[in-house]
Amino acid sequence: MTTAFKASPGLSLLMCISVVLSSVLSPLQVYAIKLVVDGISQHTSVMSGVVLLGVCLLVTAVSGSFAGPMGDTLDEKVYWYVHDDLLRLTAGIPSIGHHEDRRLADRIALIEQDRNQLAGVYRMLSVVGGVTGTITVVAMLWSVSPVLLLLLVLALAVAGVQARGWQQQRKLIREQEHLRRLGTKITDALTEPPTGVEVRSFGLGRTLVTVAADIISLRHNRYSRITSRFARLVSGGWVIYGVGYAIGLIWLLARARAGAATIGDVTLLLLVGPQINTTAQAMTNNVRMVIGALDSFGRYQWLRDYEASHDWQASQAEPPDALTDGIRFSGVSFGYPSAMDTEVKALDGVDLFLPAGTTIAFVGENGAGKSTLVKLLARLYDPTEGQVLIDGVPLSTIDPLAWRKRISAGFQDFARLEFLAADSVGVGDLDLREDRQLISTAVGAGQAGPVITGLIDGLDTQLGRQFTGGVGLSGGQWQRLALARAFMRTRPLLMLLDEPTAALDPEAEQAIYEEYGASARRLAAETGAVTVLVSHRFSTVRMADLIVVVAGGRISELGSHVELMAAGGRYAELFTLQADAYR
């Protein structure tokens, strides 16, 4: 409810009043009818009953005409409030651990699914109204005979069984979230263009459909067993309630014949009996929704707590204007969140110094730890042990946003930003994204000029075929735009190039690295910037001032190309193998 009041305080208050009124008015109408019947049968005044009935009907009509639209409007307001807050929370977490840990990804995926649950404020208010209405029914049954309260106890017991069943269903949904996400990934692989070529080339269609069907069947079978078991229990409970209601009605009729009860009492039970059933059923449905909503809000609050504990607010220092010493890894070890339950470390006791103004190349086999070093340099993660120092200052104390503004990066797994072409490049420096001259310079540096000139409206062309008038690009063209994006920042302290030219032809790759080399030399003189290359192509690696060979999360060799070749170690072996392949 606090979320609803944050989204729309006035509307939330009106809805509270409306729901409480409607929950009380319905039982009061029954009581008013009892007063009228008693007045007629006993030849006394019926005015109080008629007035009460009229007021109830009038207020119900007026309240009902507003309740539906108000509820829909409030749900909509809460939905978008939660939607915006979820985007803020997930985007505001400086690290990427919540993207790469399956357990965290499951929770966040459930939160995304549950936005409608979080927006179901009217359902939650209905429970409050249901409680108010139940209290009113208790008072009316008590006025006839306390014995009749047993009917309400029976109905609420059945409602409790239904609520318990819903809890079990929700628990199963949480446990099977990884299966749902796997099924979604398979569906995406079958339906989305980027994977369509390989799926058809390798004849994976039928196999993936079968796997998806097996996943659906597994989820459905377990869910169906729980649903069927509780359905049988609930059906039996309502049968018992029906028998109890019949016995109560017969007993009250006998009392009325004996003069111990009035015709109005019998009328009240006749009208309230089915209402108890309906009220209990409605309460069950509402409680079910509330259990789901509370579950969702629990995950929502967990995300808030996670964001608060991972917001790195203690990191307030500004990065230096220029590097004078360099970047140092001091006793750095790191394990990914998804592997924290194991002994596996991506990096183990790394001590490494990257002097200011130098170009460094990370070399090693896949999984050796090269990209992990890059992620720590970009502060997408903090080390599990040890620290990264920037001119002697711990990187963990530097504002992550301020640090990233001083980084220029190109990655193998680049983003395909389907914006206007100018924006797809310009977001490389948000502060200067409207500077067309800088964008044009970056496009030239990233060898993306032919891509832009080939577009219908140049930089003003919408990218992405799913948009009206949008243009599709090849993998190489997208990579050129990503490279241009990396050239938007003109005074970085750190350039990170993690296989940024994997989708380019050798000629374009050579031109890109020549541009990067020129940029690295210029930045070394201006800001003492460190340039880090990650590449499997040794023709590129040999241009580096310092080559770092990574193996098993450790630094196995360190030196210039000439020094490492003379040492005759793993680097020399790999270089020779690759050179022989080109002869």
pLDDT tens, residue by residue, 267-307? 777 777 776 766 676 666 666 666 666 777 777 777 778 77
**Residue 272: closest CA among 27, 19, 20:** 27
Q: Which residues contact 120 (CB under 8 A, 6 or more apart)?
A: 75, 289, 293
**Residue 313: closest CA among 208, 382, 221, 396:** 396
Do the beta carbons of residue 137 and residue 20 sit within 8 Å? no
Q: Say yes or no: 438 and 449 in one domain.
A: yes
CB-count burial class (<10 Å; 0-12, 13-18, 19+) for 471:
middle
Residue 102, both tokens: 């399956």
Query: Looking at residue 284, what is its pLDDT?
Result: 66
Asked if the model's pLDDT at residue 66 lies above 90, the reply is: no
Asked if the model's pLDDT at residue 387 lies above 90, the reply is: yes
User: Residue ranges of the alpha helices (H) in 101-204?
Assistant: 102-113, 115-119, 121-144, 149-175, 177-191, 193-201
Asked if the model's pLDDT at residue 325 lies above 90, the reply is: yes
pLDDT confidence band for 124 (50 / 70 / 90): low
pLDDT confidence band for 262 (50 / 70 / 90): confident
**Least confident interval from 97-111, 261-275, 299-313, 395-409:** 97-111
Considering just the CA atoms, what is the radius of gyration of the chain in Å? 34
Q: Say yes or no: 466 and 420 in one domain.
A: yes
Q: Say yes or no: 165 and 290 in one domain.
A: yes
Total domain count, the chain:
3
- Beta bridge pairs of residue 497: 410, 533
Q: Which of 266, 285, 309 is the last residue of a domain?
A: 309
Q: Say yes or no: 221 and 251 in one domain.
A: yes
Q: Say yes or no: 319 and 451 in one domain.
A: no
Q: Say yes or no: 471 and 513 in one domain.
A: no
| Chain centre to alpha carbon of residue 565 | 48
CB-count burial class (<10 Å; 0-12, 13-18, 19+) for 544:
buried
Task: State whether residue 537 is helix, strand or coil.
Answer: coil
Q: Which of 473, 490, 507 is the last residue of a domain?
A: 490
Do the beta carbons of residue 329 and residue 532 sit within 8 Å? no
Do the beta carbons of residue 541 and residue 354 sit within 8 Å? no
State the Cα–Cα distance between residues 213 and 209, nearest whole angstrom. 6
pLDDT confidence band for 205 (50 / 70 / 90): confident
**Least confident interval from 249-253, 324-328, 339-343, 486-490:** 339-343
Q: Which of 435, 470, 490 is the last residue of a domain?
A: 490
pLDDT confidence band for 360 (50 / 70 / 90): very high
pLDDT confidence band for 341 (50 / 70 / 90): low
Q: Which amino acid belongs to residue 458?
A: G
**Residue 571: closest CA among 557, 552, 553:** 557
In 10 A of CB 402, how many CB atoms? 13
What is the pLDDT averaged over residues 350-377?
A: 93
The HSE-up count of residue 443 (CA atoms within 13 Å, CB side) is 23
Residue 392, both tokens: 């002697």
Give Cα separations from 398 to 328, 356, 382 (angstroms): 15, 18, 12
State the Cα–Cα distance between residues 568 and 386, nearest whole angstrom. 31
**Residue 392: closest CA among 356, 360, 357:** 356
Task: State whether residue 411 is helix, strand or coil.
Answer: strand
What is the pLDDT averaged over residues 317-330?
A: 95
pLDDT confidence band for 343 (50 / 70 / 90): low
Asked if the model's pLDDT at residue 444 lies above 70, the reply is: yes
Q: Say yes or no: 470 and 529 in one domain.
A: no
Q: What percentage of the chain reaches a pLDDT higher than 90?
A: 27
Q: Say yes or no: 382 and 476 in one domain.
A: no
Query: Looking at residue 499, what is its pLDDT?
Result: 81
Residue 404, both tokens: 């990233």
pLDDT confidence band for 81 (50 / 70 / 90): confident
Asked if the model's pLDDT at residue 552 lies above 70, the reply is: yes
Asked if the model's pLDDT at residue 451 lies above 90, the reply is: yes
Q: Say yes or no: 320 and 305 in one domain.
A: no
Query: Looking at residue 102, what is its pLDDT?
Result: 65
Asked if the model's pLDDT at residue 339 lies above 60, the reply is: no
pLDDT winner (highest mean) among 118-122, 193-197, 205-209: 205-209
Cα of first residue to Cα of last residue in the chain, in angstroms, is: 72
CATH for 504 = 3.40.50.300
Query: Looking at residue 551, what is its pLDDT?
Result: 93
Nearest-5° Cα angle at 398, 397 to 404: 145
pTM, entire model:
0.67
CATH for 145 = 1.20.1560.10
pLDDT confidence band for 332 (50 / 70 / 90): very high
State the Cα–Cα distance between residues 249 and 481, nearest whole angstrom. 79
Residue 124, both tokens: 């939650």
DSSP string, 17-34: HHHHHHHHHHHHHHHHHH
Residues spanned by the domain of 560: 315-406+493-583
DSSP state for residue 337 in the 8-state scheme: G
Mean pLDDT of the residues in the chain: 81
Pairing label, strands 326-334, 385-390: antiparallel
For 3-62, how does the pLDDT look when each residue is reduced to its tens digit (9 = 90+)?
776 777 777 777 777 777 777 777 777 777 777 777 777 777 778 878 887 887 787 777
Give Cα separations from 3 to 6, 78, 256 (angstroms): 5, 7, 51
Do the beta carbons of residue 463 and residue 426 sit within 8 Å? no
**Least confident interval from 145-159, 314-328, 366-380, 405-419:** 145-159
Task: State whether residue 399 is helix, strand or coil.
Answer: coil
CB-count burial class (<10 Å; 0-12, 13-18, 19+) for 270:
middle
Q: Say yes or no: 553 and 534 in one domain.
A: yes
**Least confident interval from 138-152, 364-378, 515-529:** 138-152
Q: Say yes or no: 501 and 480 in one domain.
A: no
Q: Say yes or no: 83 and 130 in one domain.
A: yes
What is the pLDDT averaged over residues 243-255?
A: 83
Query: Looking at residue 434, what is its pLDDT?
Result: 92
